[in-house]
């Protein structure tokens, strides 16, 4: 390995990934929880389903940041991202990357990060109140 000294900071690296991923999911949960009917209209779904999705994203994001049931929440978020990619690819016919609208490359990164946390355990830094 070229920079093996950085391996001593792998727990910090996992924590930073958890922090960023958690903030992203909490941020994306807020509009679903504040105005579920509006979001349901955009998605073509039901308001209760959007609320449920917002709760899953928000609670899972917080759990990942804190390190509580981390692998369970990472699995939930991976399932959410598989669903998001499915809808973009199969239902809405969105390309991987597009100049005029958001493709599904960002969703794929979030899926990969969720799977990494699921399979790795997310490192040794935990936050409990």
Provide the residue range defining the domain that includes 111.
13-120
Overall domain count for the chain: 1
Taking all residues of the chain, what is their mean pLDDT, rounded to a whole number? Answer: 94
Q: What is the pTM of this model?
A: 0.93
CA atoms of 58 and 67, how far apart (whole Å): 14
The answer to whether residue 42 is domain-embedded is yes
The answer to whether residue 105 is domain-embedded is yes
The answer to whether residue 3 is domain-embedded is no
The answer to whether residue 51 is domain-embedded is yes
CA end-to-end span of the chain: 37
Phi, psi of 75 (to 5 degrees): -65, -45
Q: pLDDT per residue over 52-111, tens digit each?
A: 999 999 999 999 999 999 999 999 999 999 999 999 999 889 899 977 778 999 999 999
Cα distances (angstroms) measured from residue 108 to each of 19, 42, 66, 81, 82: 18, 21, 23, 7, 8
What dihedral do alpha carbons 11, 13, 16, 21 form, nearest 10°? -100
């Amino acid at each position: 390995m070229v920079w093996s000294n950085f391996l001593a900071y792998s727990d910090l690296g996992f924590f930073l990934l958890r922090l960023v991923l958690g903030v992203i999911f909490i941020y994306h949960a807020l509009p679903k929880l504040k105005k579920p009917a509006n979001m349901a209209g955009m998605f073509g779904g039901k308001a209760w389903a959007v609320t449920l999705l917002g709760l899953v994203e928000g609670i899972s994001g917080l759990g990942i940041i804190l390190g509580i049931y981390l692998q369970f929440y990472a699995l939930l978020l991976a399932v959410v991202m598989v669903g998001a990619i499915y809808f973009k690819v199969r239902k809405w016919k969105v390309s991987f990357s597009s100049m005029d609208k958001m493709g599904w490359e960002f969703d794929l990164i979030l899926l990969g990060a969720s799977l990494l946390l699921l399979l790795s355990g997310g490192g040794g830094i935990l936050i409990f109140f």
